[in-house]
Amino acid sequence: MSLAFTIAELASLTGAESVEGACAGPITGIAALAEATPADLSFLGNAKYADAVASSKAGALLVPVAFAGKPASGQAFLRVGNPSYALALLCSVLEARLWPRPSAGIHASAVVAASAKVDPSAHVGPLCVIGEGAVISAGATLEARCHVGAHASVGADCWLKSGVTIGDYCVLGARCRLQSGAVIGSDGFGYEPVNGEIRRIPQIGNVVLEDDVEVGANSTLDRARFSKTVVGRGTKIDNLVQIAHNVSIGRQCLITAQVGIAGSTTLGDHCVLGGQSGVAGHLSLGDRVKLGAQAGLFEDVPADGFMNGTPAVPFGLERRLVVLSRRLPELFKKVDSLAASLDSAGR
Amino acid sequence: MSLAFTIAELASLTGAESVEGACAGPITGIAALAEATPADLSFLGNAKYADAVASSKAGALLVPVAFAGKPASGQAFLRVGNPSYALALLCSVLEARLWPRPSAGIHASAVVAASAKVDPSAHVGPLCVIGEGAVISAGATLEARCHVGAHASVGADCWLKSGVTIGDYCVLGARCRLQSGAVIGSDGFGYEPVNGEIRRIPQIGNVVLEDDVEVGANSTLDRARFSKTVVGRGTKIDNLVQIAHNVSIGRQCLITAQVGIAGSTTLGDHCVLGGQSGVAGHLSLGDRVKLGAQAGLFEDVPADGFMNGTPAVPFGLERRLVVLSRRLPELFKKVDSLAASLDSAGR
Amino acid sequence: MSLAFTIAELASLTGAESVEGACAGPITGIAALAEATPADLSFLGNAKYADAVASSKAGALLVPVAFAGKPASGQAFLRVGNPSYALALLCSVLEARLWPRPSAGIHASAVVAASAKVDPSAHVGPLCVIGEGAVISAGATLEARCHVGAHASVGADCWLKSGVTIGDYCVLGARCRLQSGAVIGSDGFGYEPVNGEIRRIPQIGNVVLEDDVEVGANSTLDRARFSKTVVGRGTKIDNLVQIAHNVSIGRQCLITAQVGIAGSTTLGDHCVLGGQSGVAGHLSLGDRVKLGAQAGLFEDVPADGFMNGTPAVPFGLERRLVVLSRRLPELFKKVDSLAASLDSAGR
């Protein structure tokens, strides 16, 4: 990444209140305090790392206005109200430079069905396939090798990274962001036994992502058996997540990597599921429910519940059970000792 | 999905024995009792939901012949022998309309090797790649962006959704169905330490899917170290499942999402593995073995075994251990109390 | 696979010290002792299977020089120093025949940006997309449908199987091997709550794979929030693995299928993570740390630590806790019995 900023440019981009010291050359990277070189910008995001500032080799540092330290020789301090926020401001600027919106239009190598409607402001990258009756809305970006199936719809300003698959009839709201390899609208896993054979149950529903939903790389969201699988507005889904048919996820949820949610389960708003956790089918989770990493949930949870473990129990109980289970060796010994005492007392 | 049915059409498609009442307009969707609108068909699939029929807004309802209720005003009852089966009949019809088989032939944008044999009745979609010596059999459908590697074979009437990868030399039987992103024939994960470095062991076998196998989105099935990795006839594999090299899965098994099966393990017929469960390598599982969700299996299981937990034990024992482990706080208190009693008795 | 070897050819390829007996026809496959047919080569890789040699139908067998048995009629023994190693020699030869390096050059259907630099000795397969400023080094092989993003770099002699995605700005060292569907450089999962909404934190770093790294099918490696996500030289990553942003993995590690490593965690060299295990974020693992299958690690581990269970504890303790937890029914009974004894003694 060939980026280079002067201290003055950084001060402007981060809204620095003052600059102290100066560094030798341009700043070309961002790094944590311990790893930064004289060509890097670093930042003091958490007061507990204040001691690490003095030993940091960073050429420039975002520090709180009231930070007591002084820059080393060849080092610049940019004093800001909130270093983390200032860094995010800078990163947003950098992101826009590193990933400029591609120009509008359809790449010559893309295969677009005659009946598809692609807004002139949308970008359809190389080797994309757009099916019959599909709609690509204004400002949408489809990087290379994306597939938007027949009668599917991609909302305004969506950004599909390279290699995303949107199945037939599925619907994406505005500003959705999908990472490479995400599959929206695979068949639900529905079968029934018939005379010792397994017969497939048709899966004729679709998947609806509301506005501002994000889906991680290689995650899979199954279409409904009928009706729809829904992900609510603003919900973010990490990589390698499995969402089964007819699941309904509320708004502003965080679904961490490798989570699996089985069929027909409903989540409220603002839920947070930890990495590799699983939720059984046909359950109902209220708003703000939290589930710990690797937990396995097999029961309904009311609003604000925090569950952990497999099978999951309330977090406080789970923590206590973990502590006690580690004391099992001690408990077994104690019981043996009691038995011996009682035995000798009885003699 | 622009589908619209009259009650008469629905009655015919579902084999209704009688129709009672009438709805205002066409039926354009299918929904559960509680969510259905006057434009939806719903159904009473389970007697325990009978009370929900009276409050359902559905325009049309599939109900058992003997169901006691009467349709509300503007509502039609279609009386059938088995509402679930009647619904499946309808869904199959809908599925065939929503996903008509694409027309035979090879899309102009596909890249097909000169020595590949594509049956004239097969459909090869846009931007597919068919390698040297590959065979695509009669009636097979390859949606967009599929890759069939060199000397691989796709059986009659297989359906590969968009973006499936079939590795070189792999073999699919008839009527296999693969969801987007599935990878058949990735290299097995075989390495050996040599002088502190990790050396790759060549993986020169293939993967064989027998007839009627289904594989979910983004699942990965590794080719054998030598010989073959096999999935038996009629087995269904869900999304994001990992099948390692030289695994042999029997017939009519159900492998739920995010399951992992390590190398050289053998499963019998009719096995069912719950979501996110894992099976260690070099194990042997008999016919009809079941494994609970998130379970981790590290030992052989004879036919009809049902295992749960990590490390997995027989289901009944696991259930008992879960109950007892939740009573640990009580047990610790009881032991303390016994110790105190004994102590005071001893004084 | 149409391969056929005479015994003399096999003896030469495996470096056999002597040949005993002869088989009827050519050897066309490799199989385990129990499954081998007269057209197969098998091998005695582990002395404990010595009894299985006598009943093996294999046409040819690799056996240790000192092996006491004699070939059956129509069977050839190839006596070698180390049968496993001899087999690997043969498999390497077979692999090179089954997967000859494709010829150098760019397939006519590939879409290569004008500013990309593709070494003339590299192979760029059908329907690949190479972004602006990307570099494809000497001897690299990109099978069909690969995407190398803008300003990304693929090192010498890398082999990307069909359908690999290398995100913009990411860097691969020499001789990396990536399986189908692997995604390098998806956005990190970084969000912060702002007024009840979830705001995305820009992810502007990249992913660096050092030399000889291998990545399995459909695995996902996220780009760093800033700076880089790193996988050290010689590390092998299996299928469906999730590596979050800013993770740093050392050299010569083995990361088994479906593992997840959360953000900013650091692994030393020679670590081994078992299948489906998970490592929480911001942790530090020393060299040679091992983690059992399905374990969930939530704390730092010094060099040579071996952890297991969820939450993970040292392996020996975990084994003991498993044994004791299975004895809970007995413990509960014993405590009840003690209580009864004490009660009756007190009367």
Is B339:A338 a contact under the CB 8 Å cutoff? Answer: yes
Write out chain A residues lying below 8 Å of C186, CB-based.
161, 179-181, 216-217, 239
Give 10-residue mean pLDDT values along chain C (347 residues).
82 94 90 91 89 94 94 96 90 92 97 98 98 98 98 98 98 98 97 86 96 98 95 98 98 98 97 98 97 98 98 98 97 94 76
Q: Which of C115, C130, C164, C165 to mutate to test the interface with A (most CBs of A within 10 A)?
A: C165
pLDDT band at A346 (very low <50, low <70, confident <90, very high): low
Q: What is the pLDDT of residue A347?
A: 55
B245: annotated active-site residue = yes
Ordered by where they begin, the domains of chain C are 7-98 (3.40.1390.10), 108-318 (2.160.10.10)
Is C89:C5 a contact under the CB 8 Å cutoff? Answer: no
The minimal CB distance from B328 to the residues A198, A311, A324 is found for A324
pLDDT band at A2 (very low <50, low <70, confident <90, very high): low
pLDDT tens-digit readout, B290-323: 999 999 999 999 999 999 999 999 999 999 999 9
Q: Closest residue of B to C326, CA-based?
A: B321
Write out chain B residues lying below 8 Å of C239, CB-based.
183, 186, 189, 220, 222, 242
List chain B residues with pLDDT less than 50. 1
Q: What is the pLDDT of residue C315?
A: 98
- Chains B, C: CB contacts under 8 A, how many? 177
Tell me the ipTM for this assembly. 0.94
pLDDT tens-digit readout, A260-270: 999 999 999 99
Give the CA diameter of chain B: 96
**C197-224 b/e (C-beta count within 10 Å ≥ 16 → b):** ebebbbbbbbbbbbbbbbbbbbbbbbbb
pLDDT tens-digit readout, A122-177: 999 999 999 999 999 999 999 999 999 999 999 999 999 999 999 999 999 999 99
Q: What is the pLDDT of residue B243?
A: 98
**C93-109 b/e (C-beta count within 10 Å ≥ 16 → b):** bbbeebbeebebebbeb
The answer to whether the Cβ–Cβ distance between A218 and C168 falls below 8 Å is no
- Sequence-ordered list of residues with C-beta below 8 angstroms from that of B287, at least 6 positions apart, any chain: B250, B268, B269, B270, B271, B303, B304
Is A290:A305 a contact under the CB 8 Å cutoff? Answer: yes
Q: Closest residue of C to A321, CA-based?
A: C311
Residue A148 Cα to chain centre, angstroms: 22
Strand stretches in C96-209, DSSP E: 105-106, 111-112, 117-118, 123-124, 129-130, 135-136, 141-142, 147-148, 153-154, 159-160, 165-166, 171-172, 177-178, 183-186, 191-194, 197-200, 206-209
Of A288, A254, A282, the closest CA to residue A268 belongs to A288
- Chains in touch with A (≥3 Cβ pairs < 8 A): B, C
Write out chain A residues lying below 8 Å of C335, CB-based.
335
- Chains in touch with C (≥3 Cβ pairs < 8 A): A, B
| Cis amide prior to B311 (ω within 30 degrees) | yes
The answer to whether the Cβ–Cβ distance between A91 and C280 falls below 8 Å is no
A193: which 2 tokens? 């036994």
The number of beta carbons lying within 10 Å of the beta carbon of residue B223 is 25
Can you tell me which residue has the tokens 């010569």? C252
H-run or E-run covering C319:
helix C315-326
Write out chain A residues lying below 8 Å of C171, CB-based.
none
Write out chain B residues lying below 8 Å of C32, CB-based.
227
**Average pLDDT value for chain A:** 95
Write out chain A residues lying below 8 Å of B94, CB-based.
202, 204
Q: What is the pLDDT of residue B346?
A: 66
Hey, which residues of A are catalytic here? Answer: 245
Chain B nearest-CA distance from C195, in A, is 31
Q: Virtual CA dihedral for C270, C273, C279, C284, nearest 10 degrees? A: -10
Distances (CA, A) of C30 to A118, B203, C55, C206: 53, 12, 16, 42
Chain C nearest-CA distance from B339, in A, is 10
Chain C nearest-CA distance from B99, in A, is 25
The pairing of strands A18-21 and A76-80 is antiparallel
Chain C nearest-CA distance from A103, in A, is 14
The pairing of strands B177-178 and C313-314 is unpaired
- The active-site residue, picked from B123, B147, B245, B270, is B245
The answer to whether the Cβ–Cβ distance between C165 and A181 falls below 8 Å is yes
- The active-site residue, picked from C147, C245, C270, C282, is C245
